[in-house]
């Protein structure tokens, strides 16, 4: 089966007046349909750079990026986003916020509007369809933002620290909720996060990047032998700590190596 996303030997450097900063070194991985993958790495290693390349905002220096087997182009409608802030407009109702992507892309058809109403119903927001965003909790707002994204049926979801603006308690329940919705819809997702617990609780695989220039340090497959495999249940399972420690160790490996030589 053709992977949804394929990165082959990606290299990227920034060029400024001060010189060259190599950000990504020989990154290769692929995502198969329905897979949830997390990317973690030290601050400043190149995670945002990686997302900008997948987003088509920047071109790799060398290497290839393929989306469903074809080279990536800027603003691909096949990619949907969930960001740190929900970017809901206060002057629009939730229903009209959910439709904004469809309006912008010229797809505001009766079918899409019907689907929007069905999704609001399915995800427990129909009673808020006529509400303003400020009338909703942080979790419900993120749900609305996800519906807005899913409505356009993206093949790939890019999640860039989507829960980091929420307080700790809310964050646990919202990531559980959003994670389960993404699983149910069978979407392929790539989550970039600095939160290892989030990565372990949500994903099938964690890609650990080294410090800059980022290369792939290790890829850790995540499987939980629990009956009801939800992000919250994972956090209470015995495997959780083992995975967390394994990834933590790998991330701190570089630092320890430096300390030992000092």
Q: Interface with ligand ADP by CB under 6 A: which residues?
A: 14, 16, 21, 23, 41, 43-49, 212
Which CB sits closer to ligand ADP, 161 or 177?
A: 161
Task: Output the smallest distance, CB 209 to ligand ADP, in A.
Answer: 7
Which CB sits closer to ligand ADP, 61 or 155?
A: 61
Task: Output the smallest distance, CB 104 to ligand ADP, in A.
Answer: 27
SS (H, E, C) the chain: CCCCEEEEEEEEEEEECCEEEEEEEEEEEEECCCCEEEEECCCCCCHHHHHHHHCCCCCCCEEEEEECCEECCCCCCCEEEECCCCCCCCCCCHHHHHCHHHHHCCCCCHHHHHHHHHHHHHCCCHHHCCCCHHHCCHHHHHHHHHHHHHCCCCCEEEEECCCCCCCHHHHHHHHHHHHHHHHHHCCEEEEECCCHHHHHHHCCEEEEECCCCECEEEEEECCCCCCCCCHHHHHCCHHHHHHHHHHHHHHHHHHHHHHHHC
Which CB sits closer to ligand ADP, 41 or 60?
A: 41
Task: Output the smallest distance, CB 219 to ligand ADP, in A.
Answer: 17
Max Cα–Cα distance, the chain, nearest Å:
66
Task: Output the smallest distance, CB 127 to ligand ADP, in A.
Answer: 38
Task: Output the smallest distance, CB 58 to ligand ADP, in A.
Answer: 9
Which CB sits closer to ligand ADP, 175 or 210?
A: 210
Task: Output the smallest distance, CB 110 to ligand ADP, in A.
Answer: 41
Task: Output the smallest distance, CB 18 to ligand ADP, in A.
Answer: 8
Which CB sits closer to ligand ADP, 58 or 152?
A: 58
Task: Output the smallest distance, CB 194 to ligand ADP, in A.
Answer: 8
Which residues, 6+ apart, have CB-to-CB distance to 241 below 8 Å?
A: none
Which CB sits closer to ligand ADP, 85 or 241?
A: 85
Backbone φ and ψ of 14, nearest 5°: -90, 140
Which CB sits closer to ligand ADP, 52 or 68?
A: 52
Cβ atoms 135, 94 nearer than 8 A? no
Measured between alpha carbons, how far is 68 from 79 in angstroms, rounded to an integer? 11
Which CB sits closer to ligand ADP, 188 or 210?
A: 210
């Amino acid at each position: 089966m053709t992977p949804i996303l394929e990165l082959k030997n990606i290299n990227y450097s920034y060029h400024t007046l001060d010189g060259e900063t190599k950000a990504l070194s020989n990154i290769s991985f692929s995502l198969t349909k329905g897979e949830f993958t997390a990317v973690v790495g030290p601050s400043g290693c190149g995670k945002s750079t990686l997302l900008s390349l997948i987003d088509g905002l920047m071109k790799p220096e060398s290497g290839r990026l393929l989306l469903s087997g074809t080279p990536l182009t800027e603003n691909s409608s096949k990619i949907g986003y969930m960001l740190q802030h929900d970017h809901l407009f206060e002057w629009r109702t939730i229903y009209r916020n959910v439709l904004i992507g469809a309006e912008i892309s010229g797809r505001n058809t009766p079918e899409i509007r019907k689907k929007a109403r069905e999704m609001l119903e399915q995800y427990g927001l129909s009673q808020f369809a006529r509400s303003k965003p400020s009338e909703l909790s942080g979790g419900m707002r993120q749900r609305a933002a996800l519906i807005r994204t899913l409505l356009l049926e993206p093949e790939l979801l890019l999640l860039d620290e989507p829960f980091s603006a929420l307080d700790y308690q809310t964050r646990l329940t919202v990531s559980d909720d959003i994670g389960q919705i993404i699983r149910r819809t069978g979407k392929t997702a790539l989550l970039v996060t600095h939160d290892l617990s989030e990565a372990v609780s949500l994903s099938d695989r964690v890609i650990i990047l080294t410090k800059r220039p980022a290369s792939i340090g290790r890829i850790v497959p995540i499987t939980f032998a629990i009956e009801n495999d939800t992000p919250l249940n994972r956090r209470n399972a015995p495997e959780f700590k083992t995975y967390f420690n394994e990834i933590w160790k790998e991330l701190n490996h570089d630092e320890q190596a430096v300390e030992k030589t000092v």
